[in-house]
């Protein structure tokens, strides 16, 4: 599998002149391969959003190298690299630049000098992918939060990026909006195999990922599949995260002496295990 | 009062006027402002008024709605009218009652000025009512393009304008929210002596500025990530189309100018 | 303090071409001391109701009873300050309302507007800063130097400093991480119990409503369509579905399990602990029956 992005021993501080201030990111390394969905989790202030800003050159690390498509990220190739990475931010209102849905999707295309005819084609395609093609001329104030975030995703997709970064893109949405956005990302993954990196503290979002990176105090605390990470159990709780519902319930049931075969991340698995271990005759 | 005000608002529609290119509408209204001054006798003023009413009719904006929405402006107009009537003392007196003396010339001037005023307000309102703010911005950007040679940052100005327009509703909402939050904490902007009221504005303005700066910062980041680095090498998604309708509007403009010049005394 | 909405309707920009009705004949009684959740989708009218609870908005039809004050549509309501002191509202993202130079000044802003002396207000600020889990030293800092989570706590302290009898919470945990969410919700539950507050939680989180509230009202398209205890509301999934709402995860899980094992658990459970206990009991019965 091709390497899309790699961080190699990255250290970053917002105040390089004050040695007493803790680094925002401390010696973090990881690699993202083509077609993967990676989730970076951690409580607020764990350094996860700083990492997102380092990845597309909004910030530059004091130590370490970031490679995108095997090329080190520098001031020179910055714009080229940004066009390969779509990014969706937290606040749906503060990233909507265009006057209407279609204008906003076209914004990045205009910036990259894409010819008009090609733009029209790409804007429509991208809006179809996020199922917003019926609302081409809607103004942002008439859209829900979830719809605005889907427009933002379309705006990123229009440039045909190699990697889509979601920086807490669902944290300001209502449950309906969150579900909409996650369904959109899942459908995109199925249809196009898009590589996704999501930064989140929503565990239901993290479970969907292939691999999780768990940040704490600017350091990478753990890395692994969601089941490996959630197996950390109480350590996660101590570091400000929660466990998925099924795992919490499994834990409580085991305490009460109910027989179960293993740990479960999804409710379906737990129901089945409860049935086979305790009720099936 | 502000909710009823329609000056500067946009009413979507698909009339002939709505469909015109913003450039032709802008040129038309801009030229109209000067043309109005050619009128100097009853025939020419009547012509202007009839023309404006025709434009309103074609734009399918209801006249009563327009007049209702322009009430504050119309009050101002009536006031100007009365001023002329009472203070112009030329021509034959036509009405006398106690200290009120109305002269022919005063009445004439009053009517003319009022028509001029009314026609201008109608035409500019029709422009904003039938053209979305963003189209006006697009039109202005293209019309002002020649001034780029004089180092006028046309693209940047247009972008600033369109982003401001985009954020007006957001900031209005925000103002309402913060105002309510402070009212819930006992702050009171609408009653009390002036000094107190001015003081009560601080809890509203500080959070509003903080939020606006935060939004601006977020927006700048989002724009940078999406590859924005100035107008250089950018293509345009919003295309303006000049077609037969717009040429027709321009011909109409020229014809009307010619007619006014012929008929004026 | 009881709050009652009697056939309350509300229209924004009433009497203009832009008029928009947001509430239709809403009947809702919130008895003193209860923990009431108001649930609904964005645009269901729940934030319009919220603004009625301390008369920031006045009904365009119907009447509003807040304690011993009645506010009737069409009549002038003078001096609403006592009402606003008694009903404190923690708005969504309350950190946006901070404006003073120091945290202390911001916390005492509310109480001093309601005529509390500076000395007394400062005393309250010192107590509250501890209650919301922040160090006393923070009182002298600028609120704008704090983290988002700290700012939220300061804003909450600012509302609590008014010593309201009713506290209205509008999505108080929006944007917080799981730990922050739990801490804030537990803080309000503790206050609710200790100070015998009437608490009104406006939310779209079924989980929070199930865990904390003792009464629930469902808003849908400007109408109050369902009221009842959490068990009554969440026990009826079909009814909820007609309003495009889902029962909390816990209830959904219980139902799935019940379908699988072919019988009902003893009670409808609203917390993980309750559910674990009920399942354990069912497993024991099963073993005993074999």
CA B179, chain centre distance (Å):
28
A39 with A79, same domain: the answer is yes
Structural domain of A79:
1-84+163-173+196-228
Of B1-5, C46-50, C103-107, the one with minimum mean pLDDT is B1-5
- Is the pLDDT confidence value at B191 over 80? no
- Residues forming a β-bridge with C10: C23
**How far is C230 from C35, CA to CA, in rounded Å?**
11
Give pLDDT tens digits for B200-229: 888 999 999 999 999 999 999 999 999 998
Residues of B in contact with C110 (CB under 8 A): 185-186
Residues of C in contact with A246 (CB under 8 A): 253
Residues of B in contact with C162 (CB under 8 A): 185-186
Q: Six-digit token pair at B117?
A: 């005023």
The full DSSP string for C74-104 is TS-----HHHHHHEEEE-SSGGGG--SSSHH
Give me Rg for the CA atoms of chain A.
20
A211 with A259, same domain: the answer is no
- Is the pLDDT confidence value at B258 over 50? yes
**How far is B7 from B28, CA to CA, in rounded Å?**
18
Interface test with C, best of A41, A44, A142 (most C CBs within 10 A): A44
Long-range contacts of A178-184 (CB under 8 A, 24+ apart): A178/A146, A178/A202, A178/A205, A179/A146, A180/A146, A180/A147, A180/A149, A180/A150, A181/A146, A181/A149, A181/A150, A181/A153, A182/A208, A184/A130, A184/A131, A184/A150, A184/A153
For chain A, 281 residues long, give each residue's pLDDT as a single digit of tens.
689 999 999 999 998 888 888 899 999 999 999 999 999 998 888 888 899 999 989 999 999 999 999 899 998 999 999 999 999 999 999 999 998 999 999 999 999 999 999 999 999 999 999 999 999 999 888 899 999 999 999 999 999 999 999 999 999 998 889 999 999 999 999 999 999 999 998 888 898 999 999 999 899 999 999 989 988 888 888 888 888 889 889 989 999 888 888 888 889 999 999 998 888 76
A25, A60 contact by CB (below 8 A): no
Taking the Cβ of residue B237 and every Cβ of chain A, the question of whether any pair is shorter than 8 Å is answered with yes
Q: How many domains does chain A have?
A: 2
In a domain, A262, yes or no: yes
At residue A216, φ and ψ (nearest 5 deg) are -145, 130
Judged by DSSP in three states, A87 sits in: strand
Q: What is the mean pLDDT of chain C?
A: 93
Which residues have CB under 8 Å from C221's CB, separation 6+? C44, C45
A2 with A78, same domain: the answer is yes
Q: What is the mean pLDDT of chain B?
A: 87
In terms of DSSP bridges, do strands C198-203 and A163-167 run parallel, antiparallel, or are they unpaired? unpaired
Chains meeting A at 3+ CB pairs closer than 8 A? B, C
A59 with A169, same domain: the answer is yes
Which has the closest alpha carbon to A168: A212, A201, A190? A201
A270 with A211, same domain: the answer is no
- Please name the residue of chain B whose CA is at the shortest distance from the CA of residue C86: B184
Closest-CA distance, B219 to chain A, in angstroms, reads: 5
Residues of A in contact with B162 (CB under 8 A): 99
In a domain, A233, yes or no: no
Give pLDDT tens digits for A58-94: 999 999 999 999 899 998 999 999 999 999 999 999 9
Q: Six-digit token pair at C21?
A: 């009705």
Which has the closest alpha carbon to A72: A26, A27, A8? A8
How many inter-chain contacts (B to C, CB under 8 Å) are there?
A: 60
| Closest CB from C17, C99, C114 relative to B203 | C99
Closest-CA distance, C112 to chain B, in angstroms, reads: 8
- Please name the residue of chain B whose CA is at the shortest distance from the CA of residue C161: B185
| Closest CB from B226, B233, B239 relative to A107 | B226
Give pLDDT tens digits for A223-243: 999 989 988 888 888 888 888
- Cα separations (Å) of B116 from A112, B123, B265? 48, 11, 17
Judged by DSSP in three states, A121 sits in: helix
In a domain, A123, yes or no: no
Which has the closest alpha carbon to B126: B65, B39, B80, B169? B65
Give pLDDT tens digits for C230-283: 999 999 888 999 998 989 999 999 999 999 988 899 889 999 999 999 999 999
Residues of A in contact with B232 (CB under 8 A): none
- Is the pLDDT confidence value at B93 over 60? yes
Percent of chain C with pLDDT over 70: 99
Cα-Cα-Cα-Cα dihedral sign, residues C159, C162, C165, C166: negative
A66 with A169, same domain: the answer is yes
Taking the Cβ of residue B186 and every Cβ of chain C, the question of whether any pair is shorter than 8 Å is answered with yes
**CATH number of the domain where residue A70 is located:** 3.40.50.300
B207, C99 contact by CB (below 8 A): yes
A206 with A279, same domain: the answer is no
In a domain, A169, yes or no: yes
Residues of A in contact with B218 (CB under 8 A): 89, 91, 94-95
Long-range contacts of B219-225 (CB under 8 A, 24+ apart): B219/A94, B219/A95, B219/A97, B219/B163, B221/A58, B221/A89, B222/A87, B222/A89, B222/A94, B222/A95, B222/A97, B223/A97, B223/A107, B224/A58, B224/A82, B225/A56, B225/A58, B225/A82, B225/A87
C-beta atoms of C98 and B65 within 8 A: no
Judged by DSSP in three states, A145 sits in: helix
**How far is B151 from B145, CA to CA, in rounded Å?**
10
Count CA within 13 A, CB hemisphere, residue C35: 19
A164, A194 contact by CB (below 8 A): yes
- Please name the residue of chain B whose CA is at the shortest distance from the CA of residue A121: B237
Long-range contacts of B36-39 (CB under 8 A, 24+ apart): B36/B116, B36/B119, B36/B120, B37/B116, B38/B257, B38/B260, B38/B261, B38/B264, B39/B112, B39/B115, B39/B116, B39/B260, B39/B264
A274 with A168, same domain: the answer is no
The full DSSP string for C208-273 is HHHHH-SEEEEEETTEEEEEE-HHHHHT-HHHHHHTT----HHHHHHHHHHHHHTS--SS---SHH
Q: Which residues 35-64 on chain A approach chain B with CB closer than 8 angstroms? A: 56, 58
Closest-CA distance, A125 to chain B, in angstroms, reads: 15
C-beta atoms of A279 and C260 within 8 A: yes
A80 with A169, same domain: the answer is yes
C-beta atoms of B236 and A100 within 8 A: no
pLDDT, residue B165, reads 84
Judged by DSSP in three states, A26 sits in: strand
Give pLDDT tens digits for B133-156: 888 989 999 999 899 888 889 989
Residues of A in contact with B22 (CB under 8 A): none
C-alpha angle B3-B137-B10 in degrees, rounded to nearest 5: 25
Using a 10 angstrom Cβ sphere, with 0-12 exposed, 13-18 middle and 19 or more buried, the burial of residue A163 is buried
Using a 10 angstrom Cβ sphere, with 0-12 exposed, 13-18 middle and 19 or more buried, the burial of residue C279 is buried
Share of chain C residues as helix, strand and coil, in percent rounded to the nearest 5: 45, 20, 35
In a domain, A209, yes or no: yes
Give pLDDT tens digits for C120-151: 999 999 999 999 999 999 999 999 999 989 99
Taking the Cβ of residue B182 and every Cβ of chain C, the question of whether any pair is shorter than 8 Å is answered with yes
Interface test with B, best of A56, A95, A137, A171 (most B CBs within 10 A): A95
Q: What's the CATH number for C34-39+80-246?
A: 3.40.50.300
In a domain, A76, yes or no: yes
In a domain, A151, yes or no: no
User: Strands of A3-12's sheet, edge to edge?
Assistant: A25-33, A3-12, A63-68, A71-72
pLDDT, residue B1, reads 39
- Please name the residue of chain A whose CA is at the shortest distance from the CA of residue B218: A94
Closest-CA distance, B213 to chain A, in angstroms, reads: 11
A252 with A211, same domain: the answer is no
Residues of C in contact with B210 (CB under 8 A): 96, 99, 144
A214 with A254, same domain: the answer is no
A281 with A167, same domain: the answer is no
**How far is A252 from C278, CA to CA, in rounded Å?**
11
Q: Six-digit token pair at B167?
A: 């954020």
* Burial call A132-143: b when 16+ CB within 10 Å, e when fewer: bbebeebbbeeb
pLDDT, residue A155, reads 96
Taking the Cβ of residue A123 and every Cβ of chain B, the question of whether any pair is shorter than 8 Å is answered with yes
C-beta atoms of A102 and B165 within 8 A: no
């Amino acid at each position: 599998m091709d390497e899309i992005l790699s961080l190699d021993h990255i250290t970053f501080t917002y105040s390089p002149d004050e040695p007493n201030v803790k680094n925002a990111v401390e010696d973090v390394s990881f690699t993202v391969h083509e077609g993967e969905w990676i989730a970076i989790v951690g409580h607020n202030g764990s350094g996860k959003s700083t990492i997102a800003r380092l990845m597309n050159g909004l910030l530059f690390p004091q130590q370490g190298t970031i490679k995108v498509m095997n090329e080190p990220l520098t001031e020179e190739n910055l714009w080229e690299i940004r066009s390969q990475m779509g990014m969706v931010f937290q606040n749906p209102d503060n990233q909507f630049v265009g006057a209407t849905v279609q204008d906003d999707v076209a914004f990045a295309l205009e910036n990259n000098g894409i010819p008009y005819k090609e733009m029209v084609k790409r804007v429509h395609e991208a809006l179809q992918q996020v199922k917003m093609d019926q609302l081409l001329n809607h103004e942002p104030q008439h859209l829900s939060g979830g719809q605005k975030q889907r427009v933002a995703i379309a705006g990123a997709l229009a440039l045909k990026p190699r990697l889509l970064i979601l920086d807490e893109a669902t944290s300001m949405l209502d449950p309906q909006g969150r579900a909409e956005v996650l369904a959109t990302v899942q459908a995109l993954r199925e249809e196009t195999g898009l590589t996704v990196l999501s930064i989140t503290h929503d565990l239901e979002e993290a479970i969907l990922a292939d691999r999780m990176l768990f940040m704490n105090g600017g350091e990478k605390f753990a890395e692994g599949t969601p089941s490996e990470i959630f197996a950390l159990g109480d350590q996660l709780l101590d570091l400000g995260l929660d466990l998925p519902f099924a795992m919490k319930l499994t834990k409580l049931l085991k305490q009460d002496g109910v027989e179960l075969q293993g740990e479960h991340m999804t409710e379906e698995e737990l129901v089945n295990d409860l049935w086979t271990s305790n009720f099936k005759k | 009062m502000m909710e009823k005000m329609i000056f500067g608002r946009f009413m979507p529609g698909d009339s002939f006027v709505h469909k015109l290119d913003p450039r032709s509408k802008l040129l038309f209204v801009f030229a109209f402002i000067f043309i109005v001054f050619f009128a100097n006798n009853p025939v020419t003023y009547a012509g202007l008024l009839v023309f404006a009413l025709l434009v309103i009719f074609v734009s399918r904006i209801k006249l009563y709605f327009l007049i209702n929405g322009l009430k504050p402006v119309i009050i101002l107009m009536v006031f100007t009218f009365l001023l002329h009537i009472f203070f112009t003392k030329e021509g034959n007196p036509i009405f006398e009652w106690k200290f009120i003396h109305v002269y022919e010339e005063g009445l004439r001037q009053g009517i003319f000025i009022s028509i001029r005023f009314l026609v201008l307000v109608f035409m500019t309102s029709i422009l904003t009512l039938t053209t979305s703010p963003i189209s006006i911005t697009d039109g202005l950007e293209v019309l002002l393009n020649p001034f780029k040679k004089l180092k006028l940052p046309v693209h940047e100005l247009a972008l600033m304008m369109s982003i401001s327009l985009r954020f007006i509703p957001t900031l209005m909402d925000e103002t309402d929210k913060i105002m309510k939050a402070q009212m819930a904490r006992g702050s009171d902007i609408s009653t009390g002596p002036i000094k107190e009221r001015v003081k009560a504005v601080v809890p509203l303005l500080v959070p509003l500025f903080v939020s606006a700066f935060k939004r601006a910062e977020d927006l700048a980041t989002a724009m940078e990530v999406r590859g924005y680095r100035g107008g250089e090498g950018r293509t345009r998604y919003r295309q303006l189309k000049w077609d037969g309708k717009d040429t027709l509007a321009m011909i109409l403009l020229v014809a009307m100018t010619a007619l006014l010049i012929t008929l004026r005394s | 303090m009881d709050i009652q909405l009697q056939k309350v309707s509300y229209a924004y920009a009433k009497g203009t071409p832009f008029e928009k009705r947001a509430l239709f004949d809403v009947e809702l009684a919130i008895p003193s001391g209860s923990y009431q959740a108001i649930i609904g989708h964005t645009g269901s009218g729940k934030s319009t109701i919220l603004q009625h609870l301390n008369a920031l908005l006045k009904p365009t039809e119907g009447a509003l009873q807040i304690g011993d004050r009645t506010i009737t549509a069409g009549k002038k309501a003078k001096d609403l300050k006592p009402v606003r002191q008694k009903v404190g509202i923690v708005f969504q993202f309350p950190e946006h309302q901070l404006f003073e130079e120091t945290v202390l000044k911001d916390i005492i802003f509310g109480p001093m507007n309601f005529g509390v002396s500076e000395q007394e207000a400062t005393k309250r600020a010192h107590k509250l800063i501890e209650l919301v889990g922040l160090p006393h030293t923070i009182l002298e800092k600028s609120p704008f130097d704090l983290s988002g989570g700290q700012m939220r706590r300061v804003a909450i302290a600012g509302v609590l400093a008014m010593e309201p009898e009713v506290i209205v919470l509008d999505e108080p945990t929006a944007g917080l991480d799981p730990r922050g969410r739990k801490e804030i919700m537990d803080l309000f539950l503790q206050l609710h119990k200790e100070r015998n507050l009437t608490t009104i939680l406006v939310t779209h989180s079924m989980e929070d409503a199930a865990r904390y509230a003792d009464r629930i009202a469902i808003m849908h398209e400007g109408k109050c369509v369902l009221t009842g205890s959490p068990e009554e509301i969440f026990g009826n999934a079909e009814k909820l579905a007609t309003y495009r709402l889902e029962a909390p995860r816990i209830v959904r899980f219980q139902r799935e399990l019940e379908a699988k094992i072919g019988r009902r658990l003893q009670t409808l459970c609203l917390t993980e602990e309750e559910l674990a206990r009920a399942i354990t009991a069912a497993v024991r019965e099963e073993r005993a029956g074999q």
